[in-house]
Amino acid sequence: MTTYGFHASHEQVHPAELLTAVQLAEEAGFGAAMCSDHFAPWSERQGQSGFAWSWLGAALATTSLRFGVVNAPGQRYHPAIVAQAMATLGAMFPGRFWAALGSGENMNEHITGDPWPSKAVRDLRLEESVDVIRRLLAGEEVSHEGTVTVDQARLWTLPEAPPALLGPAVTVATARRVASWADGLITINQPLEVLREIVGAYREAGGRGPVALQVHLSWDPDPAVAERLAFDQWRTNLFPPPLCWDLESPEHFDLASAHVRPEDVHSGVVVSSSFGELVDRIGELASVGFDEVYLHHVGHEQRPFIGAFGEHVLPQLAAPAGTDDGRQAASVRGLR
């Protein structure tokens, strides 16, 4: 059965309020959680960017949920520091933490003053960083010379079992590449045929473990408000690679989104006021074969979304096909 989790967006919500949100999400019936890890938001309108690793300790300590984070080792983060952070959370909260390791975005990484490498170099740097992290989590002393440098690093506090390292992918090519090292795959909502290709490519390349999906959505009882919210908060997140990798600042993302229209946000955000439509659309995405689906309401205010989805959406998504609850999913469309 698919697990439905809550996505905590550090770019949009103050970390104290985000901590309360994940606590409420657990009470509402969300079965897991994940968070972003940014130095800057995607837009000045989003307006936040708390430090994920500080927040994760508090979130794990004050809920019983399993948590993941999307991280980019190699430039802003030295891979030995990522390994130490993962090991400590894994030791304190056994079996409840995972990390998805990607090649990063210039917006977050340029703060070091180092040049932003080509995608080929970033991919190589990611693979070297993954190897360093795995070896450190296995208790080895690691020295390495390459796109990253490590000198006689060793972790002195280790978890009983290393946290899973997932591979994030939004393209078929990346899904194939991460299959060589990942313990699982995570991607974002895209057209069904694209998602099937991504999951299929990962499995065909030997990819193991669970596959997870992050769904960006905007809900409000008023459909016009739901669309305005998605346009205000998420129109800077519609750009395909390489543009989304290479822009340098929130200001640049805002400038690049100047010609995005409100109706355009539907390509990247599930926008609806109907619980029944949301149940159907989220369920359709999950049917591609995802083990975990993380729901991200793209607004600043998370409490109304958590309460509404806990009451009207999660029970329908969790109901086995053919049960009374499952059949009710079709009739719930009139709810607001």
Residues catalogued as catalytic: 38, 105
Q: List phi, psi (to 5°) of 269.
A: -130, 135
How far is the CA of 335 from the CAs of 226, 308, 313, in angstroms? 15, 10, 10
Strand runs labelled E in the chain: 3-8, 33-35, 67-71, 97-101, 142-145, 149-153, 164-168, 185-188, 211-219, 270-272, 292-297
> Rounded distance, CA 50 to CA 221, Å?
29
- Neighbour-count burial of 250, counting CB atoms closer than 10 A to its CB (0-12 exposed, 13-18 middle, 19+ buried): buried
Written as six digits, the tokens of 321 are: 């096909």
Is 288 strand, coil or helix?
A: coil
Long-range contacts of the stretch 243-248 (C-beta < 8 A, 24+): 244/105, 245/103, 245/104, 245/105, 245/106, 245/119, 246/105, 246/106, 246/116, 247/105, 247/106, 247/107, 248/106, 248/107, 248/110
- Closest CA relative to residue 182, chosen from 160, 159, 199: 199
Cα 265–chain centre separation: 19
The DSSP output letter for 112 is: G
Q: Is 329:316 a contact under the CB 8 Å cutoff?
A: yes
Q: Is the bond into 223 cis (omega within 30 degrees of 0)? A: no
- Closest CA relative to residue 45, chosen from 242, 245, 260, 240: 260
